[in-house]
Amino acid sequence: MDLDAFVTEHGAEWNRLQVLAGRRRRKLTAAEVDYIVRLETGVINRAVYQTAVLYDPAVDGEFERANQAFRDILAAGLSLGGTVTGEHGVGKIKQEWLAREIGPVGMRVHRAIKAALDPANLFNPGSMFSMS
């Protein structure tokens, strides 16, 4: 069996950590997928979970269930005023979630900084967000 995974960081303020953990556990249990969770406590004003939602691409429907669980986990973090990322970044898979978290003004600021520092768009083009 060759497993694959959706791996994410998601976090919330310390006082909402237990609520986030409960929501994450319910979503993953309902999706009937295996997972690994690690709590990172070295962040100043919030805690960040690193979660790997495991799935076997050869098993019918497992990718879809894992993907939905991944999305539900990110939504749970945002609903608590948390974040969809920690120090490891956004990449391509969480682009839409970054936009939801920081909104249109935040995206314009991010794009302006990227354009100023990387005018030729050489560094990780298409990763984190598009330039348009």
> Measured between alpha carbons, how far is 8 from 90 in angstroms, rounded to an integer?
9
Residue 112 three-state SS = helix
pTM: 0.85
Alpha-carbon span 73 to 67, nearest angstrom: 10
- The candidate with the shortest Cα–Cα distance to 16, out of 77, 87, 72, is 77
* pLDDT tens column, 41-95: 766 667 788 899 999 999 999 999 999 999 999 999 999 998 888 767 788 888 9
Name residue 53's beta-bridge partners. Answer: 6, 35
Nearest to 101 by CA among 130, 131, 81: 81
